[in-house]
Chains A and B, each alone.
Chain A
Amino acid sequence: MSLVFQSLVLGVLMGGLYALLAAGLTLYFGVMRVVMIAHSAFLVLAAYLAWAFTVQTGLDPMLSLVVTVPLFFVLGVAVQRLLVARLRPATLTMMSVLLTFAVALAVEGTLGFVFTGTHRRIPLSYSGARLELFGASVALVKLIAFGLAVVTLVGLHVLLKVTRFGQALRATMQHREAARLLGVDTDRIAGFGFGLGLATAAVGGTALALDSTIYPSLHWHWIGPLMAIIVVGGLGSVAGAAIAALLLGVGQNLLQIPLGTTWAQTFFYAALFVTLILRPQGFFGGRLAQRF
């Protein structure tokens, strides 16, 4: 019983991180109808930057966010402006996948070249600390990672719902032409949408670096589950992606008990294939998903 509860708690914590990353993917998809394969490559890049920051300065990796979040925002705008926006609209969806895939390869290769393929882990004074949570024993770093994810998601939610920029962004996601007719500079907003999405990768990468070993090809282990989450949740729906992320995260952790870590990974892909057979538009998606 306690083992199941433990897995449940760990699953929720994992799901929080998945939800944050899936939110980024949803933003890209919302503003440009683009599936950004390179998202998890940037996630690993942020993790490496956090690692390098801590190793060089000896400060806490979370302080690296001060640099990486603005940096990734600018990178995101650049990726949208310089690469994605140049594709022909007719073949945008297919070609953008290939283009962002190419970006992912370039990022992975550069990471391997600069940091070598050696597995790295951030030395943390509190990495061994554990907390008792309703009877489950949870590593402190996992809680911090979850906290980072939740704070960022809440911040993102407020930004989208309250500010004028958020309104413009949501309008662009809902109907680009209509938004432009109402005076929204949709090209600029799309660039900012990419920037915001990549900024979530910066936060996620730092959270990831806190409690796992990183290596350049790690992003392939993330892109599969993340893709499964956005398909199950319904492409383009932030809330749907978050629900799917929590459900799949919990499911994966529960299945680890009878199956072991490797086979439990296949749960994501099983969920992906089942979703495509039963409901190709996703289970929690709104209107956006239908169009795809």
Chain B
Amino acid sequence: MRSGSETVAKAFGLVALAAFVVAFPSLASDPFVLSVGVVIVSYAVLATAWNFVGGFTGYISLGHAAYSGLGGYATGLLILRAEVNPWLALLLGGLVVAALAVPVGIAALRVRGASFVIVSIALVLVLLLVFQSWESVTGGSDGLRVPRPFGPEVLRPEQHQRFFYLHAVLLAVMLLCWWAIDRSRFGMGLKGIREDEDKARSLGVPTVRYKLAAFVISAFFTALGGGLYALWFGFLDPIFQFSILVGSNMVLMSLLGGVRSLFGPLVGAVVVGYATEFFKAQYGDTQMHLVAMGVLLAVVVLFLPDGVIPAVRGLVARLRPEQASIREVTQEELAEEVRR
């Protein structure tokens, strides 16, 4: 049976992935490699969070940096100004951003297609303006120093290791949520919206509520990702937090991996994150990054709009021995059924 062997393969892959994640910090040769690992899981967290709205509903948001940035700032400000416990601040920050996402979502989701993308970009630009100008609260262009959640006795490599696991746990929780939604009635409705919103609506899917729910879930997880990153990195600069590039990175990673697959954003994050860090280490920070990112995004949009995972799967299916029938049950099984 094909489906049986596939399940085994999938389970084996999952175990292998989990084992690699657990073992990575001890495999990493030095703290720098470990820190690159943290950056890549952080990318994976953000891309997977993005995919809750991008993958399910097909609404492509270029402005998810708004939620990661807000999550980071909310966490930092709660710790600094209200002296909340860092982990509680992280959670509260996520909830605050989710609450903020409700009115934004109501406004943004009224329009489809290009207008939605415009709104998402505008949100990032306006937040950049606000966080740069409102110096008394946000620290303005000088940035905001976020205190580390672990005491001074925890050294650098140890910090990286702990944050690597924290990010990995968050990622695992998100993947589980995505998987659960994917199989639920709610997920079915969302995918209906992606394929044809009007038809989905005429079939009784409460499109407005469903879209908003997916949007808020996505904003919540993105904010948690941003907050966790802020706790690890320890410094927030509005230019880098509310950057269109951060948002477009999430889109690029998800599209590259495949927005319809559970692990698509993760695969994309590993590829893009590794490539980015590699080029940074080799050639330093030049403007060619932008060009490379632009070209890669254009190539993905033009030639791989469904992502790598479906493309590879298609290739594997072609290499397999040809199946006799497109039906899932064979002729004999059908005949058996009829006889009974």
Instruction: Spell out A's residues near B (CB within 8 Å).
Output: 29, 33-35, 37, 83, 86-88, 91, 93-99, 101-113, 117, 216, 220, 223-224, 227-228, 231, 235, 262-263, 265-266, 268-269, 272-273, 276-277, 280, 292
Contact = CB atoms under 8 A, between A and B. Distances in A.
A83 B302 contact: yes
B202 interface: no
Contacts of B301: 87, 95, 98-99, 102
B122 A97 contact: no
A235 B129 contact: no
B292 to A, nearest CB: 8
B115 A292 contact: yes
A94 B117 CA distance: 8
B7 to A, nearest CB: 32
Contacts of B114: 29, 33-35, 93-94, 96-97, 235, 292
Contact of B294 (A104, A223, A277): A104
Contacts, number: 137
Given A105-B248, A262-B133, A97 B117 contact: yes
Contacts of A110: 287, 291
Contact of A101 (B62, B125, B302): B62
A111 B287 CA distance: 8
Contacts of A83: 298, 302
For chain B, the bracket of interface size reads 35 or more
B26 interface: no
Contact of A113 (B113, B115, B286): B286
**Interface residues of A, dominant DSSP:** helix
The secondary-structure label for the interface of chain B is helix
B10 interface: no
A108 B245 CA distance: 12
Counting chain B CB atoms within 10 Å of each CB, the highest count among A88, A93, A102, A227 belongs to: A102
B208 interface: no
A98 B122 CA distance: 15
A159 to B, nearest CB: 25
29 contacts: A35-B114, A83-B302, A88-B305, A91-B305, A97-B117, A98-B60, A98-B251, A98-B255, A99-B298, A101-B62, A101-B297, A102-B295, A102-B301, A106-B298, A108-B290, A109-B290, A109-B292, A111-B287, A220-B244, A224-B126, A231-B118, A262-B132, A263-B129, A266-B130, A269-B123, A272-B118, A273-B119, A273-B122, A280-B115
